[in-house]
Amino acid sequence: MESDPQKFRPRAAIAMARCFPPFMSTILDERLEALFQTVVKRNPGETEFHQAVREVFESLGPVLVKHPEFGTHKIIERICEPERQIIFRVPWQDDSGQVRINRGFRVQFNSALGPFKGGLRFHPSVYLGIVKFLGFEQIFKNALTGLPIGGAKGGADFNPKGCSDGEIMRFCQSFMTALHRNLGEYTDVPAGDTGVGTREIGYLFGQYKRLTDRYESGVITGKGLDWGGAKVRKEATGYGTVFFLQEMLAARKDSVEGKVCIVSGAGNVAIYAIEKLQQLGGKVVACSDSNGFIHDKKGLDLALIKQLKEVERRRIADYARHHKRARYTAGGSIWSVPCEVALPCATQNELNGKDASRLLRNGCLAVAEGANMPVTPEGVRVFLDAGIAYGPGKAANAGGVVTSALEMQQNASRDSWGFEFTETRLAEIMRGIHASCYQTAEEFGAPGNYVHGANIAGFIRVARAMLALGLV
Ligand code: NDP
Ligand code: 2IT
Protein backbone atom coordinates (compact mmCIF):
# COMPACT_ATOMS: atom_id res chain seq x y z
CA MET A 1 0.00 0.00 0.00
CA GLU A 2 1.01 3.59 -0.55
CA SER A 3 1.33 4.76 3.04
CA ASP A 4 0.33 4.46 6.65
CA PRO A 5 -2.21 7.23 7.31
CA GLN A 6 -1.59 7.15 11.07
CA LYS A 7 1.99 8.25 10.46
CA PHE A 8 0.81 11.55 9.00
CA ARG A 9 -1.97 12.37 11.39
CA PRO A 10 -1.23 15.46 13.49
CA ARG A 11 -0.16 14.64 17.03
CA ALA A 12 -3.36 16.03 18.52
CA ALA A 13 -5.48 13.72 16.37
CA ILE A 14 -3.42 10.69 17.29
CA ALA A 15 -3.76 11.54 20.96
CA MET A 16 -7.50 11.81 20.40
CA ALA A 17 -7.69 8.40 18.81
CA ARG A 18 -5.90 6.87 21.79
CA CYS A 19 -7.93 8.37 24.62
CA PHE A 20 -11.24 8.80 22.90
CA PRO A 21 -13.27 10.82 23.41
CA PRO A 22 -11.47 13.80 24.93
CA PHE A 23 -14.19 16.22 23.86
CA MET A 24 -16.84 14.54 26.00
CA SER A 25 -16.47 17.13 28.72
CA THR A 26 -19.14 19.44 27.32
CA ILE A 27 -22.57 18.30 28.38
CA LEU A 28 -25.12 17.62 25.67
CA ASP A 29 -28.78 17.25 26.50
CA GLU A 30 -29.94 13.66 26.88
CA ARG A 31 -31.44 13.31 23.43
CA LEU A 32 -28.41 14.76 21.60
CA GLU A 33 -26.01 12.68 23.73
CA ALA A 34 -27.87 9.53 22.71
CA LEU A 35 -27.77 10.60 19.05
CA PHE A 36 -24.06 11.28 19.35
CA GLN A 37 -23.41 7.83 20.83
CA THR A 38 -25.28 6.32 17.88
CA VAL A 39 -23.09 8.26 15.44
CA VAL A 40 -19.95 6.99 17.23
CA LYS A 41 -21.22 3.40 17.13
CA ARG A 42 -22.25 3.52 13.48
CA ASN A 43 -18.95 5.10 12.37
CA PRO A 44 -16.27 3.34 14.43
CA GLY A 45 -12.75 4.76 14.50
CA GLU A 46 -13.65 7.94 12.60
CA THR A 47 -12.45 10.29 15.33
CA GLU A 48 -12.34 13.49 13.27
CA PHE A 49 -15.90 12.85 12.08
CA HIS A 50 -17.06 12.31 15.68
CA GLN A 51 -15.34 15.54 16.68
CA ALA A 52 -17.04 17.57 13.92
CA VAL A 53 -20.46 16.07 14.73
CA ARG A 54 -20.14 16.70 18.44
CA GLU A 55 -19.15 20.31 17.87
CA VAL A 56 -22.32 20.91 15.84
CA PHE A 57 -24.49 19.01 18.35
CA GLU A 58 -23.23 21.30 21.12
CA SER A 59 -25.11 24.13 19.41
CA LEU A 60 -28.36 22.32 18.62
CA GLY A 61 -30.12 22.00 22.03
CA PRO A 62 -32.00 25.32 21.78
CA VAL A 63 -32.76 24.71 18.09
CA LEU A 64 -34.68 21.52 18.90
CA VAL A 65 -36.65 23.38 21.56
CA LYS A 66 -37.61 26.12 19.11
CA HIS A 67 -38.20 23.74 16.20
CA PRO A 68 -39.63 20.46 17.53
CA GLU A 69 -40.51 19.51 13.93
CA PHE A 70 -36.80 18.92 13.24
CA GLY A 71 -36.86 16.25 15.95
CA THR A 72 -40.10 14.64 14.78
CA HIS A 73 -38.79 14.34 11.24
CA LYS A 74 -35.41 12.96 12.39
CA ILE A 75 -33.48 15.70 10.59
CA ILE A 76 -30.37 15.28 12.75
CA GLU A 77 -30.24 11.52 12.25
CA ARG A 78 -30.60 12.03 8.50
CA ILE A 79 -27.99 14.79 8.30
CA CYS A 80 -25.40 12.56 10.01
CA GLU A 81 -25.84 9.81 7.44
CA PRO A 82 -24.26 10.63 4.05
CA GLU A 83 -26.57 10.24 1.07
CA ARG A 84 -23.89 8.19 -0.69
CA GLN A 85 -20.29 7.14 0.01
CA ILE A 86 -17.98 5.98 -2.76
CA ILE A 87 -14.67 4.23 -2.02
CA PHE A 88 -12.55 3.14 -4.94
CA ARG A 89 -9.19 1.76 -6.03
CA VAL A 90 -6.80 4.15 -7.76
CA PRO A 91 -4.06 2.18 -9.55
CA TRP A 92 -1.29 4.12 -11.30
CA GLN A 93 2.24 3.66 -12.50
CA ASP A 94 5.19 5.65 -11.14
CA ASP A 95 8.11 6.85 -13.26
CA SER A 96 10.11 3.69 -12.59
CA GLY A 97 7.27 1.59 -14.00
CA GLN A 98 6.14 0.27 -10.59
CA VAL A 99 2.43 -0.20 -10.04
CA ARG A 100 1.08 1.80 -7.09
CA ILE A 101 -2.32 1.53 -5.43
CA ASN A 102 -4.16 4.24 -3.52
CA ARG A 103 -7.62 4.48 -2.06
CA GLY A 104 -10.01 7.15 -3.36
CA PHE A 105 -13.09 8.54 -1.60
CA ARG A 106 -16.09 10.70 -2.39
CA VAL A 107 -18.65 11.24 0.34
CA GLN A 108 -21.79 12.87 -1.07
CA PHE A 109 -23.21 14.07 2.20
CA ASN A 110 -26.24 16.23 1.56
CA SER A 111 -27.91 17.61 -1.57
CA ALA A 112 -30.94 19.36 -0.06
CA LEU A 113 -29.69 22.80 -1.14
CA GLY A 114 -28.07 21.98 -4.48
CA PRO A 115 -25.68 19.59 -6.21
CA PHE A 116 -23.04 18.06 -3.94
CA LYS A 117 -20.14 20.50 -3.66
CA GLY A 118 -16.78 20.30 -1.92
CA GLY A 119 -13.09 19.78 -2.49
CA LEU A 120 -10.74 16.85 -3.04
CA ARG A 121 -7.80 16.30 -0.71
CA PHE A 122 -4.67 14.38 -1.69
CA HIS A 123 -2.65 13.66 1.44
CA PRO A 124 -1.31 10.44 3.01
CA SER A 125 -3.42 11.03 6.13
CA VAL A 126 -6.71 10.79 4.18
CA TYR A 127 -9.09 8.04 5.31
CA LEU A 128 -12.86 7.83 5.61
CA GLY A 129 -12.99 9.67 8.96
CA ILE A 130 -11.21 12.73 7.50
CA VAL A 131 -13.33 12.82 4.36
CA LYS A 132 -16.51 12.54 6.45
CA PHE A 133 -15.53 15.28 8.88
CA LEU A 134 -14.77 17.56 5.95
CA GLY A 135 -17.98 16.61 4.14
CA PHE A 136 -20.07 17.14 7.26
CA GLU A 137 -18.59 20.60 7.86
CA GLN A 138 -19.12 21.40 4.18
CA ILE A 139 -22.92 20.93 4.47
CA PHE A 140 -23.24 23.79 6.97
CA LYS A 141 -20.54 25.95 5.39
CA ASN A 142 -22.26 25.79 2.03
CA ALA A 143 -25.63 26.49 3.64
CA LEU A 144 -24.21 29.61 5.30
CA THR A 145 -23.20 31.03 1.92
CA GLY A 146 -26.87 31.28 0.91
CA LEU A 147 -25.92 29.81 -2.49
CA PRO A 148 -27.51 26.69 -4.05
CA ILE A 149 -24.87 24.09 -3.14
CA GLY A 150 -25.04 20.83 -1.19
CA GLY A 151 -22.16 19.35 0.82
CA ALA A 152 -19.53 16.74 -0.16
CA LYS A 153 -15.84 15.96 0.14
CA GLY A 154 -13.41 13.52 -1.40
CA GLY A 155 -9.79 12.69 -1.91
CA ALA A 156 -7.18 9.98 -1.68
CA ASP A 157 -4.42 8.76 0.62
CA PHE A 158 -1.99 9.74 -2.13
CA ASN A 159 1.19 11.64 -1.26
CA PRO A 160 1.94 14.16 -4.04
CA LYS A 161 5.20 15.27 -2.37
CA GLY A 162 8.17 14.37 -4.52
CA CYS A 163 6.03 13.11 -7.41
CA SER A 164 6.92 14.19 -10.94
CA ASP A 165 4.40 16.05 -13.08
CA GLY A 166 3.80 12.87 -15.07
CA GLU A 167 3.07 10.86 -11.92
CA ILE A 168 0.60 13.50 -10.71
CA MET A 169 -1.12 13.43 -14.11
CA ARG A 170 -1.39 9.63 -14.21
CA PHE A 171 -2.73 9.55 -10.67
CA CYS A 172 -5.37 12.23 -11.42
CA GLN A 173 -6.42 10.42 -14.62
CA SER A 174 -6.87 7.14 -12.78
CA PHE A 175 -8.76 8.88 -9.94
CA MET A 176 -11.17 10.50 -12.40
CA THR A 177 -11.61 7.30 -14.41
CA ALA A 178 -13.00 5.69 -11.27
CA LEU A 179 -15.11 8.64 -10.13
CA HIS A 180 -16.48 10.31 -13.27
CA ARG A 181 -19.80 8.41 -13.35
CA ASN A 182 -20.74 9.96 -10.03
CA LEU A 183 -20.07 13.57 -11.04
CA GLY A 184 -21.88 16.14 -13.15
CA GLU A 185 -22.74 19.85 -13.05
CA TYR A 186 -26.17 19.03 -11.59
CA THR A 187 -24.97 16.06 -9.52
CA ASP A 188 -21.64 16.60 -7.81
CA VAL A 189 -19.04 19.32 -8.41
CA PRO A 190 -15.58 18.77 -6.83
CA ALA A 191 -12.81 21.37 -6.40
CA GLY A 192 -9.40 21.58 -4.73
CA ASP A 193 -8.28 21.21 -1.13
CA THR A 194 -4.96 20.21 0.45
CA GLY A 195 -2.67 18.81 -2.27
CA VAL A 196 -5.08 19.67 -5.08
CA GLY A 197 -4.55 22.96 -6.93
CA THR A 198 -5.03 24.22 -10.48
CA ARG A 199 -2.56 21.68 -11.91
CA GLU A 200 -4.47 18.71 -10.47
CA ILE A 201 -7.87 20.20 -11.38
CA GLY A 202 -6.59 20.48 -14.98
CA TYR A 203 -5.64 16.80 -15.18
CA LEU A 204 -8.90 15.76 -13.51
CA PHE A 205 -11.03 17.91 -15.83
CA GLY A 206 -9.07 16.79 -18.90
CA GLN A 207 -9.77 13.15 -18.10
CA TYR A 208 -13.47 13.86 -17.38
CA LYS A 209 -13.77 15.61 -20.74
CA ARG A 210 -12.12 12.70 -22.51
CA LEU A 211 -14.28 10.06 -20.83
CA THR A 212 -17.59 11.86 -21.37
CA ASP A 213 -16.84 13.65 -24.63
CA ARG A 214 -18.39 16.80 -23.13
CA TYR A 215 -16.87 20.19 -22.33
CA GLU A 216 -18.89 20.38 -19.12
CA SER A 217 -17.13 23.30 -17.42
CA GLY A 218 -19.51 23.28 -14.45
CA VAL A 219 -18.47 19.79 -13.36
CA ILE A 220 -15.44 21.01 -11.40
CA THR A 221 -14.24 24.35 -10.00
CA GLY A 222 -10.84 25.88 -9.46
CA LYS A 223 -10.10 25.60 -13.17
CA GLY A 224 -7.35 27.64 -14.84
CA LEU A 225 -8.28 31.11 -16.07
CA ASP A 226 -7.80 30.10 -19.72
CA TRP A 227 -10.20 27.16 -19.57
CA GLY A 228 -13.29 28.15 -17.62
CA GLY A 229 -11.85 29.12 -14.24
CA ALA A 230 -13.00 32.13 -12.25
CA LYS A 231 -10.83 35.06 -11.29
CA VAL A 232 -10.28 35.26 -7.52
CA ARG A 233 -10.91 31.50 -6.94
CA LYS A 234 -7.21 30.96 -6.21
CA GLU A 235 -7.18 33.84 -3.73
CA ALA A 236 -10.70 33.29 -2.40
CA THR A 237 -10.27 31.19 0.74
CA GLY A 238 -7.43 33.28 2.15
CA TYR A 239 -9.04 36.59 1.18
CA GLY A 240 -12.41 35.44 2.52
CA THR A 241 -10.91 34.46 5.86
CA VAL A 242 -9.46 37.94 6.20
CA PHE A 243 -12.79 39.54 5.17
CA PHE A 244 -14.46 37.54 7.95
CA LEU A 245 -11.73 38.62 10.39
CA GLN A 246 -12.27 42.24 9.31
CA GLU A 247 -15.99 41.94 10.10
CA MET A 248 -15.32 40.40 13.53
CA LEU A 249 -12.90 43.21 14.34
CA ALA A 250 -15.29 45.87 13.00
CA ALA A 251 -18.01 44.50 15.32
CA ARG A 252 -15.54 45.33 18.12
CA LYS A 253 -14.73 48.73 16.65
CA ASP A 254 -11.28 47.52 15.66
CA SER A 255 -9.46 46.79 12.38
CA VAL A 256 -6.60 44.80 10.80
CA GLU A 257 -4.48 47.91 10.27
CA GLY A 258 -1.22 47.73 12.22
CA LYS A 259 -1.93 44.33 13.79
CA VAL A 260 0.89 41.80 14.21
CA CYS A 261 -0.35 38.58 12.59
CA ILE A 262 0.77 34.98 12.23
CA VAL A 263 -0.55 32.50 9.67
CA SER A 264 0.11 28.76 9.83
CA GLY A 265 0.71 26.83 6.61
CA ALA A 266 2.27 28.11 3.40
CA GLY A 267 -0.18 26.64 0.91
CA ASN A 268 -3.03 28.11 -1.08
CA VAL A 269 -5.08 29.38 1.86
CA ALA A 270 -2.15 30.71 3.89
CA ILE A 271 -0.50 32.57 0.99
CA TYR A 272 -3.63 34.55 0.07
CA ALA A 273 -4.55 35.19 3.70
CA ILE A 274 -1.10 36.76 4.09
CA GLU A 275 -1.62 38.79 0.89
CA LYS A 276 -4.93 40.26 2.06
CA LEU A 277 -3.64 40.93 5.60
CA GLN A 278 -0.73 42.85 4.10
CA GLN A 279 -3.03 44.79 1.74
CA LEU A 280 -5.09 45.87 4.77
CA GLY A 281 -2.03 47.07 6.69
CA GLY A 282 -1.46 44.00 8.88
CA LYS A 283 2.11 42.95 9.67
CA VAL A 284 2.48 39.21 9.09
CA VAL A 285 5.56 37.95 10.91
CA ALA A 286 5.35 34.13 10.70
CA CYS A 287 4.13 31.23 8.57
CA SER A 288 4.93 27.51 8.42
CA ASP A 289 4.78 24.18 6.67
CA SER A 290 4.70 20.69 8.14
CA ASN A 291 8.47 20.79 8.83
CA GLY A 292 8.75 24.07 10.74
CA PHE A 293 8.06 27.79 10.81
CA ILE A 294 9.77 31.03 9.85
CA HIS A 295 9.67 34.19 11.94
CA ASP A 296 10.56 37.47 10.29
CA LYS A 297 9.99 40.36 12.69
CA LYS A 298 10.17 42.94 9.91
CA GLY A 299 7.25 41.27 8.14
CA LEU A 300 7.19 38.41 5.61
CA ASP A 301 8.36 38.78 2.02
CA LEU A 302 5.31 37.34 0.25
CA ALA A 303 6.82 37.42 -3.25
CA LEU A 304 9.57 35.10 -2.02
CA ILE A 305 7.07 32.75 -0.35
CA LYS A 306 5.05 32.54 -3.59
CA GLN A 307 8.21 31.82 -5.59
CA LEU A 308 9.32 29.08 -3.17
CA LYS A 309 5.94 27.41 -2.64
CA GLU A 310 3.91 28.04 -5.81
CA VAL A 311 6.63 28.01 -8.47
CA GLU A 312 9.50 25.92 -7.12
CA ARG A 313 7.43 23.72 -4.74
CA ARG A 314 10.16 23.95 -2.09
CA ARG A 315 10.11 24.01 1.74
CA ILE A 316 9.54 27.10 3.87
CA ALA A 317 12.98 26.51 5.46
CA ASP A 318 14.48 27.91 2.25
CA TYR A 319 13.03 31.35 3.09
CA ALA A 320 15.66 31.84 5.80
CA ARG A 321 18.45 31.28 3.27
CA HIS A 322 17.26 34.31 1.31
CA HIS A 323 16.53 36.56 4.31
CA LYS A 324 19.21 36.42 6.98
CA ARG A 325 17.07 38.34 9.46
CA ALA A 326 14.44 35.58 9.41
CA ARG A 327 14.65 32.72 11.89
CA TYR A 328 13.62 29.19 10.88
CA THR A 329 12.58 26.78 13.63
CA ALA A 330 12.41 23.13 12.65
CA GLY A 331 9.46 21.43 14.36
CA GLY A 332 8.27 23.58 17.25
CA SER A 333 5.06 25.51 17.32
CA ILE A 334 4.29 28.64 15.33
CA TRP A 335 1.78 29.49 18.07
CA SER A 336 4.70 30.45 20.33
CA VAL A 337 5.26 33.58 18.21
CA PRO A 338 3.65 36.64 19.88
CA CYS A 339 0.83 38.16 17.83
CA GLU A 340 -2.51 39.96 18.00
CA VAL A 341 -4.12 37.98 15.18
CA ALA A 342 -3.65 34.25 14.49
CA LEU A 343 -4.97 32.52 11.36
CA PRO A 344 -4.59 28.73 11.39
CA CYS A 345 -4.51 27.83 7.68
CA ALA A 346 -2.75 24.42 7.54
CA THR A 347 -4.75 21.44 8.78
CA GLN A 348 -7.13 19.94 11.35
CA ASN A 349 -6.24 19.90 15.05
CA GLU A 350 -3.08 21.95 14.55
CA LEU A 351 -3.78 24.26 17.51
CA ASN A 352 -4.57 22.73 20.92
CA GLY A 353 -5.64 24.05 24.33
CA LYS A 354 -2.07 24.80 25.41
CA ASP A 355 -1.35 26.66 22.18
CA ALA A 356 -4.55 28.66 22.66
CA SER A 357 -3.61 29.66 26.22
CA ARG A 358 -0.16 30.65 25.04
CA LEU A 359 -1.60 32.82 22.27
CA LEU A 360 -3.83 34.59 24.81
CA ARG A 361 -0.90 35.17 27.19
CA ASN A 362 0.99 36.74 24.30
CA GLY A 363 -1.84 39.19 23.57
CA CYS A 364 -3.80 37.48 20.79
CA LEU A 365 -7.23 39.05 20.39
CA ALA A 366 -8.61 37.47 17.20
CA VAL A 367 -8.48 34.04 15.54
CA ALA A 368 -10.08 33.17 12.20
CA GLU A 369 -9.85 29.63 10.84
CA GLY A 370 -8.66 29.41 7.23
CA ALA A 371 -8.26 25.64 7.60
CA ASN A 372 -11.03 23.18 8.41
CA MET A 373 -11.28 22.37 12.15
CA PRO A 374 -7.71 23.51 12.92
CA VAL A 375 -8.42 24.20 16.60
CA THR A 376 -9.05 21.27 18.96
CA PRO A 377 -12.20 21.34 21.14
CA GLU A 378 -10.04 22.34 24.14
CA GLY A 379 -8.54 25.20 22.14
CA VAL A 380 -11.98 26.40 21.06
CA ARG A 381 -13.12 26.41 24.68
CA VAL A 382 -10.10 28.51 25.71
CA PHE A 383 -10.88 31.11 23.02
CA LEU A 384 -14.61 31.21 23.77
CA ASP A 385 -14.05 31.47 27.54
CA ALA A 386 -11.63 34.35 26.98
CA GLY A 387 -14.21 36.13 24.82
CA ILE A 388 -11.79 36.94 22.00
CA ALA A 389 -13.03 37.20 18.40
CA TYR A 390 -13.02 33.59 17.22
CA GLY A 391 -14.31 32.68 13.74
CA PRO A 392 -14.81 28.94 13.11
CA GLY A 393 -13.78 27.51 9.75
CA LYS A 394 -17.23 26.71 8.44
CA ALA A 395 -17.92 30.44 8.46
CA ALA A 396 -14.48 32.04 8.15
CA ASN A 397 -13.10 29.88 5.31
CA ALA A 398 -16.27 29.77 3.20
CA GLY A 399 -14.74 32.17 0.66
CA GLY A 400 -13.29 29.30 -1.38
CA VAL A 401 -16.55 27.52 -1.93
CA VAL A 402 -18.37 30.85 -2.39
CA THR A 403 -16.11 31.66 -5.32
CA SER A 404 -16.50 28.11 -6.62
CA ALA A 405 -20.25 28.76 -6.73
CA LEU A 406 -19.52 32.04 -8.56
CA GLU A 407 -17.41 30.02 -11.01
CA MET A 408 -20.41 27.70 -11.55
CA GLN A 409 -22.60 30.77 -12.23
CA GLN A 410 -20.13 32.03 -14.84
CA ASN A 411 -19.85 28.60 -16.46
CA ALA A 412 -23.63 28.22 -16.63
CA SER A 413 -24.01 31.57 -18.37
CA ARG A 414 -20.82 31.13 -20.46
CA ASP A 415 -19.55 34.37 -18.98
CA SER A 416 -16.33 35.57 -17.38
CA TRP A 417 -16.31 38.31 -14.76
CA GLY A 418 -13.50 40.73 -13.92
CA PHE A 419 -11.28 40.45 -10.83
CA GLU A 420 -12.68 43.48 -8.99
CA PHE A 421 -16.30 42.56 -9.64
CA THR A 422 -15.72 39.01 -8.39
CA GLU A 423 -13.80 40.14 -5.33
CA THR A 424 -16.58 42.57 -4.48
CA ARG A 425 -19.15 39.75 -4.72
CA LEU A 426 -16.95 37.58 -2.47
CA ALA A 427 -16.58 40.37 0.10
CA GLU A 428 -20.35 40.99 0.11
CA ILE A 429 -21.13 37.33 0.65
CA MET A 430 -18.54 37.03 3.46
CA ARG A 431 -20.15 40.08 5.11
CA GLY A 432 -23.50 38.32 4.81
CA ILE A 433 -22.12 35.14 6.41
CA HIS A 434 -20.70 37.17 9.29
CA ALA A 435 -24.00 39.01 9.78
CA SER A 436 -25.97 35.79 9.75
CA CYS A 437 -23.66 34.13 12.36
CA TYR A 438 -23.63 37.26 14.50
CA GLN A 439 -27.40 37.72 14.48
CA THR A 440 -28.16 34.04 15.00
CA ALA A 441 -25.82 33.92 18.01
CA GLU A 442 -27.69 36.88 19.54
CA GLU A 443 -31.07 35.39 18.74
CA PHE A 444 -30.14 32.15 20.49
CA GLY A 445 -28.76 33.86 23.59
CA ALA A 446 -25.03 33.53 22.85
CA PRO A 447 -23.92 36.99 21.69
CA GLY A 448 -20.46 37.07 20.11
CA ASN A 449 -20.28 33.24 19.89
CA TYR A 450 -19.68 32.60 16.19
CA VAL A 451 -19.48 28.84 16.78
CA HIS A 452 -23.13 28.67 17.84
CA GLY A 453 -24.07 31.31 15.26
CA ALA A 454 -22.53 29.36 12.37
CA ASN A 455 -23.76 25.94 13.45
CA ILE A 456 -27.32 27.08 14.09
CA ALA A 457 -27.71 29.31 11.02
CA GLY A 458 -26.23 26.63 8.72
CA PHE A 459 -28.22 23.81 10.29
CA ILE A 460 -31.57 25.62 10.11
CA ARG A 461 -31.21 26.38 6.41
CA VAL A 462 -30.46 22.74 5.56
CA ALA A 463 -33.12 21.40 7.93
CA ARG A 464 -35.83 23.60 6.40
CA ALA A 465 -34.93 22.45 2.89
CA MET A 466 -34.94 18.81 3.99
CA LEU A 467 -38.40 19.22 5.52
CA ALA A 468 -39.67 20.89 2.36
CA LEU A 469 -38.32 18.13 0.11
CA GLY A 470 -40.14 15.33 1.95
CA LEU A 471 -38.48 12.19 3.26
CA VAL A 472 -35.07 12.43 1.53
P1 NDP B 1 -2.25 23.27 0.47
O2 NDP B 1 -1.97 21.87 0.12
O3 NDP B 1 -2.13 24.32 -0.55
O4 NDP B 1 -1.35 23.72 1.72
C5 NDP B 1 -1.44 23.07 2.94
C6 NDP B 1 -0.44 23.70 3.89
O7 NDP B 1 -0.65 23.16 5.20
C8 NDP B 1 0.99 23.38 3.53
O9 NDP B 1 1.82 24.40 3.96
C10 NDP B 1 1.25 22.09 4.31
O11 NDP B 1 2.60 21.89 4.61
C12 NDP B 1 0.46 22.33 5.58
N13 NDP B 1 -0.05 21.03 6.09
C14 NDP B 1 -0.87 20.18 5.46
N15 NDP B 1 -1.10 19.08 6.19
C16 NDP B 1 -0.37 19.24 7.30
C17 NDP B 1 -0.18 18.44 8.46
N18 NDP B 1 -0.77 17.22 8.60
N19 NDP B 1 0.61 18.94 9.43
C20 NDP B 1 1.20 20.16 9.29
N21 NDP B 1 1.05 20.96 8.20
C22 NDP B 1 0.29 20.50 7.23
O23 NDP B 1 -3.72 23.24 1.10
P24 NDP B 1 -4.75 24.45 1.28
O25 NDP B 1 -4.02 25.69 1.61
O26 NDP B 1 -5.67 24.44 0.12
O27 NDP B 1 -5.59 23.96 2.54
C28 NDP B 1 -5.22 24.25 3.88
C29 NDP B 1 -6.42 24.08 4.79
O30 NDP B 1 -7.47 24.95 4.34
C31 NDP B 1 -7.05 22.69 4.83
O32 NDP B 1 -7.57 22.47 6.12
C33 NDP B 1 -8.20 22.78 3.84
O34 NDP B 1 -9.21 21.84 4.10
C35 NDP B 1 -8.68 24.20 4.13
N36 NDP B 1 -9.47 24.84 3.08
C37 NDP B 1 -9.01 24.91 1.79
C38 NDP B 1 -9.77 25.53 0.83
C39 NDP B 1 -9.30 25.72 -0.57
O40 NDP B 1 -10.02 26.32 -1.36
N41 NDP B 1 -8.11 25.25 -0.93
C42 NDP B 1 -11.12 26.06 1.14
C43 NDP B 1 -11.46 26.02 2.55
C44 NDP B 1 -10.66 25.40 3.46
P45 NDP B 1 3.44 20.82 3.75
O46 NDP B 1 3.66 21.45 2.42
O47 NDP B 1 4.68 20.64 4.54
O48 NDP B 1 2.59 19.58 3.69
O1 2IT C 1 -13.09 23.19 2.33
C2 2IT C 1 -13.54 23.83 1.35
O3 2IT C 1 -14.48 24.61 1.46
C4 2IT C 1 -12.89 23.64 0.05
N5 2IT C 1 -11.91 22.91 -0.03
C6 2IT C 1 -13.42 24.33 -1.17
C7 2IT C 1 -14.56 23.56 -1.75
C8 2IT C 1 -15.04 24.04 -3.10
O9 2IT C 1 -15.90 23.35 -3.65
O10 2IT C 1 -14.58 25.06 -3.61
Enter the CATH code of domain 236-391.
Answer: 3.40.50.720
Angle made by CA atoms 218, 141, 179, in degrees to the nearest 5: 40
pLDDT at 95 over 50: yes
Mutation choice for ligand 2 from 133, 237, 269, CB with most ligand atoms inside 8 A = 237
pLDDT band at 27 (very low <50, low <70, confident <90, very high): confident
Structure confidence by residue, pLDDT tens digits, 177-212:
999 999 999 999 999 999 999 999 999 999 999 999
Please tell me the predicted confidence (pLDDT) of residue 472.
83
* Residues with Cβ within 8 Å of residue 36, at least 6 apart in sequence: 28, 50, 53, 54, 57
> Does the beta carbon of 145 lie inside 6 Å of ligand 2?
no
| pLDDT of amino acid 6 | 47
**What is the 366 CA–ligand 2 centroid distance (Å)?**
23
| Residue 137 beta carbon below 6 angstroms from any ligand 2 atom | no
- The pLDDT confidence band at residue 149, using thresholds 50, 70 and 90, is very high
- pLDDT surpassing 50 at residue 98: yes
CATH 1.10.285 applies to domain 5-79:
yes
Residues 365, 361: Cα–Cα separation, whole Å: 10
Of ligand 2's listed atoms, the one at least distance from the Cα of 142 is 3
Nearest to 226 by CA among 235, 217, 214: 217
- What's the predicted TM-score (pTM) here? 0.95
Domain with CATH 3.40.50.10860 in the chain: 84-217
Q: What are the residues whose beta carbons fall under 8 Å from the beta carbon of 90, sequence distance 6 or more?
A: 101, 102, 103, 104, 156, 158, 171, 174, 175, 178
Provide mean pLDDT across the span 372-382: 98
Tens digit of pLDDT for each residue in 240-249?
A: 999 999 999 9
- C-beta of residue 113 within 8 angstroms of C-beta of residue 148: yes
On average, the pLDDT of the chain sits at: 95
Range list for CATH 3.40.50.720 in the chain: 236-391
102-140: pLDDT as tens digits = 999 999 999 999 999 999 999 999 999 999 999 999 999
Nearest CA to ligand 1 atom 38: 193
**Any atom of ligand 2 within 6 Å of the Cβ of 411:** no
Q: Which fold has domain 84-217?
A: Rossmann fold (3.40.50)
Say whether pLDDT at 1 is over 80.
Answer: no
Catalytic machinery residues: 153
Q: Are 244 and 237 in contact (CB under 8 A)?
A: no
**140 within 8 A of 104, measured Cβ to Cβ:** no
Residues of the chain with CATH 1.10.285: 5-79
- Calculate mean pLDDT across residues 300-326: 95
Q: Pick the ligand that lies closest to the CA of residue 199.
A: 1
Residue 279 reports pLDDT greater than 70? yes
CA angle 226, 229, 233 (to 5 degrees): 130
